[in-house]
Amino acid sequence: MKPPPPVTSDASDAVTPESLRKQYEAGATVDELVAASGLSYGTVLNRLHDAGTVMRTSWQTGRMRQDPQARRRLAAHLRTLYEQRGATLTELAAGAGETRRSARRLLIEAGGTVRTTQQTLRMRAAARVAERHKLALSLRARYEAGASVPELAEDYNYSVATVYRLLHQAKTRMRPQHRHGPPHDEGKRP
């Protein structure tokens, strides 16, 4: 048996850090890159690091190889949570059983863009305003259908003052207040 021919310096230069990175990010292991390129283990690692490759653990590689479609589905799900519901990277990581770094990587793989903290805060504030407006319109509909403010406060577990405030925000035309108790004569005073 003949040993394989030694790799010339021209061939080793043809294996660029970027091409190694693409292969690695597609799921190849360092050992597989060494075998395919004919470079030493250290050279492959150095070129991956030069290309700015984020290295993964062996269990991450195994998980990635188990079901690439599941990884894509998880990445798409995380992107939906991140973009439509305003989830943070920490919340994504906790929900997916990942680290913040891997949740970020999955988000980017799915085509998402990482937000700043200020963007997340503004997004969440806007969502709260929209939810509060929806609640106010719901209260208005029930009030206009005949429900009283105390009934609404009890049903929604809010104070009467909060229900009045929400009805006011929904521009609800209020009914006149009823007088409770014995009738008062305007002319007589006790």
The model's pLDDT over 136-166, given as tens digits with 9 standing for 90+, comes to 999 999 999 999 999 999 999 999 999 999 9
Given a cut of 60, whether residue 2 has pLDDT beyond it is: no
Predicted local confidence at residue 143, as pLDDT: 92
Answer with the residue of higher pLDDT: 65 or 186: 65
The structure's pTM equals 0.45
Residue 177 CA to chain centroid, in angstroms?
Answer: 46
Identity of the amino acid at 7:
V
DSSP string covering 8-70: PHHHHHHS-HHHHHHHHHTT--HHHHHHHH---HHHHHHHHHHTT-----HHHHHHHHH-HHH
